Amino acid sequence: MNVTERRICINSALILFGAMLLGVSSPPACGQNPKLDIKNLEPLAKKASEVVDVNLDGSLLKLASKFMTDEDDREGLEIVKGLKGIYVKNFEFDKPGEYSQADVEAIRNQLQTPSWSRIVSARSKHDGETTEIYLMTESDGGKVLGMAIINAEPKELTVVNIVGPIDINKLSSLEGKMGIPRLSEEEKESTKKSEGHDEKQK
Amino acid sequence: MRNRNRLLAHAILIFVFLQFLPATAVAGDPEFHALVERVSAYYQKRPMRGMGLLSFIANRFTPQGVGHFQMAIFDDITSPRTALREELESSLQGLVGPDYQPFVRAQDNRGGDLTIIYIRESGKQSFEMLIISIDSSDAVLMKMRLRPEAMREWMDEPVERGKGSSHHGGSSAGK
Residue of B nearest to A66 (CA): B148
Residues B28-41 have pLDDT tens digits of 688 888 889 988 88
Of residues B114, B110, B148, B112, the one with CA closest to residue B128 = B148
Residues A22 and A117 in one domain: no
Give the phi and the psi of residue B150 in degrees, each rounded to 5.
-75, -40
Residues A71 and A16 in one domain: no
Residues A41 and A16 in one domain: no
Q: What percent of chain A has pLDDT over 90?
A: 29
Of residues A181, A177, A202, the one with CA closest to residue A191 = A202
Residues A49 and A10 in one domain: no
Cα Rg, chain B, nearest whole Å: 17
Find out whether B32 and B70 touch, Cβ atoms under 8 Å: yes
Query: Could you report how far apart the first and last alpha carbons of chain A are, in Å?
Result: 68
Which chain B residues touch A if contact means CB-CB below 8 Å? Answer: 101-110, 119, 121, 127, 148-149, 151-152, 155-159, 162-163, 166
CA distance A26 to chain B (A): 30
- How many beta-carbon pairs under 8 angstroms link A with B? 73
Residues B126-146 have pLDDT tens digits of 889 999 998 878 889 999 988
Instruction: Compute the distance between CA of residue B143 and CA of residue B123 in angstroms, rounded to an integer.
Output: 16
Residue of B nearest to A60 (CA): B101
Q: How confident is the model at residue B168 (pLDDT cuts 50, 70, 90)?
A: low
Of B131 and B81, the structure prediction assigns the larger pLDDT to B131
Residues A18 and A47 in one domain: no
Residues near A98 by beta carbon (within 8 Å), at least 6 away in sequence = A47, A48, A155
Residues A41 and A77 in one domain: yes
Residues near A69 by beta carbon (within 8 Å), at least 6 away in sequence = B148
Domain boundaries, position A10 = 1-27
pTM (2 d.p.)? 0.74
Find out whether A192 and A185 touch, Cβ atoms under 8 Å: no
Are A50 and B108 in contact (CB < 8 Å)?
A: yes
- Could you give the ipTM of this predicted complex? 0.73
**pLDDT for the residue numbered A11:** 54
CA distance A52 to chain B (A): 4
Are B155 and A64 in contact (CB < 8 Å)?
A: yes
Residues A73 and A4 in one domain: no
Residues A8 and A60 in one domain: no
Q: What percent of chain A has pLDDT over 70?
A: 74
- If you average pLDDT over each of A97-101, B13-17, B78-82, which comes out highest? A97-101
Stretch B73-100: mean pLDDT: 76
Q: Does A55 touch chain B (CB under 8 A)?
A: yes
- The total number of structural domains that make up chain A: 2
Residues A63-112 have pLDDT tens digits of 888 777 777 777 778 888 889 999 999 999 999 989 988 888 889 999 99
Residue of B nearest to A92 (CA): B108
